[in-house]
Structure formats: structure tokens, C-alpha cells
Amino acid sequence: MGVGLFAAALFGFVIFLALRDGGGDGGNGESRNPDVAALDRARADLAGIPQAGNVLGAADAPVTLVQYEDFQCPSCLRYTVDHESFLIEEYVRPGLMRIEFRHFPVVGTESATAARGAVCAGAQDRFWEYANRLFVIQAGEDFRPDRGIFDEPALTALAGGLGLDEAAFAACLADPDTLSTVSANDAAARAIGFRGTPSFTLNGAPLQAAPGTEDTWRTLIDAALAEAGVGGEAGDADGDGGEAGGAEAEADDAGGEAGEADGGSGEDAGNGAEADASGDDGG
């Protein structure tokens, strides 16, 4: 009984941290945790950007970045904190690129459960905000994979705290089609040859390893824009764009080492979607 009460208290505290806007520093509204503070800013910056389920950005954007992620993967958190906001502001907001989020649950059973929750939030047009809050929870100092933080009751409570329809959300979690969506994303990632998260395709070409700097991202995306006939527009807008020439070599350097895309999570953790399908919280 004591363990159950402790788990319930911990769960409530984690949801509180995920839902509050900043806080914890005694007055300036920003979290002491720099990752949480960055995610809070990123959540606010989503305003005004077109969203359609798991897709962020204009439907007619000339470049599409597909990112395969796991909400329990520490390297996915690092990408989200360190690079995703830059990509959104520099390329997505101006209509040059759209980002499509796909699920590749490789860390554990609750990776697939969290993915199902994000799918259900997307059904209510709140995917990106919900995904942001899942990463806020992972950014917490006490987070450990598969410890009940991303079980179905926790995911439903998070949805309710964000103002989603909890009954519709719970029904979606229980719908086998929701798990099928996650499993299809997982199968697509494996068919490409991805082994870990985060992994990416840019206009259909696999990168596999996440570029480590903003300049490398710019080189890759500006090359894709040039191929689409709108090369260098993002770089010209802020005076920091690179030449399209030589981009293929850097693309190979950034994305060609498939085996090194460890991302802190890979096949050795097992197929999260399959684990979820056979577990207690499978849809």
C-alpha cells in the first residue's frame, strides 16, 4: 500500500510539472531546468503555425522533414531541445518546410503507450502541444523509462490537464486502430533501415544520424530547397545561409553512418510497439 501511495504521489507531481508554464524559479516564470524552460518556449512558439495531426507546417511546403522519435529516448529530447525550435522558426514558420512526426518506439513498452497517447492527442488537433509536454516529463530529473510515468492513466490525465476531451482520448487509447498507427510507423522506420532514434528523412532521403549543428541542418535543408527550385531562401532571409554546392558531401557526412544513429535507444531495447501490443496497456 505504501508503494502504491508513493507511485500515485509521484505521478501527480510529474503531471503537475508537465502542465505548469515554467515556474519553480521564484518569480520570473521560467523553470530552473534549462530543458524544461526551452520546451516551454517552444510550446509558446507553436502559435500561428499550421498543424494537421502529426504534421506541422504548410501543406504545400517544398521540403518535408520526417522525424522518427521515441518519447522515452534521451537523444530525441536533445534534438527537440537543441534543434527542433530552430528548424521550426527558420524553415517551418516561413512555409519552406513541414515536419512530420512518426513513432519509432524502441526504448520500452511505455514508448509505444506514449506514442498512442500522442496519436490520440493528434485526433483532437493537439499533437504538437501534447508531444512537447511528454518531452517535458522526460526532462524531469527523476524520469526513468517504463516506470509507470507514461502508462494509460497518466497519459489520460495529461490530456485532461491540457483541456482535451478525456472520454474521447481514453476511447482512442483503447481503439486497436491507434496501436496500428504506431505499429505502421515502426514498420516504416525499420523498412528504411533505421535502428535507433531520432532518425530522419528529408524529402524522402534518409539521414539516419541527426546533424549535430545548425549549420549542418542549414546545408542539408538549403540543398533540398535548391533542388525544389527555392534554394537558399531561408539562409538569405537571415544572412546566414550556406551555398547549395557541396551539400551532398555534408549530407553524406551527417546522415550516411546508419550504424552510429544510436540516439540512446536502439533495437537492443526491443520493439516497443510489439511489446505494447502484448502488454497490459495494449490497445
pLDDT tens string 110-154:
999 999 999 999 999 999 999 999 999 999 989 999 999 999 999
Question: Is pLDDT of 182 > 60?
Answer: yes
Say how far apart CA 283 and CA 276 lie, in whole Å.
Answer: 8
* Nearest one of 54, 56, 121 to 95, comparing CA atoms: 56
pLDDT of 60-112, one tens digit each? 999 999 999 999 999 999 999 999 999 999 999 999 999 999 999 999 999 99
**Could you give the count of Cα atoms lying within 13 Å of 112 in the half-sphere of its Cβ?**
29
Question: Is pLDDT of 161 > 60?
Answer: yes
Which amino acid type is present at position 234? A
- Domains, the chain: 2-20+49-278 (3.40.30.10)
Q: What is the mean pLDDT of residues 46-50?
A: 96
Maximum CA extent, the chain? 64
More confident residue, 278 or 130: 130
Q: What is the mean pLDDT of residues 217-230?
A: 96
Q: What's the grid cell of residue 97? A: 518546410
Q: What is the mean pLDDT of residues 34-60?
A: 96
Q: What is the mean pLDDT of residues 203-219?
A: 92
Query: What is the pLDDT of the chain when averaged over all its residues?
Result: 81
Question: Is pLDDT of 17 > 50?
Answer: no
Query: What share of the chain has pLDDT > 90, as a percent?
Result: 68
* Nearest one of 246, 244, 248 to 236, comparing CA atoms: 244
The alpha-carbon radius of gyration of the chain (Å, integer) is 19
pTM: 0.77
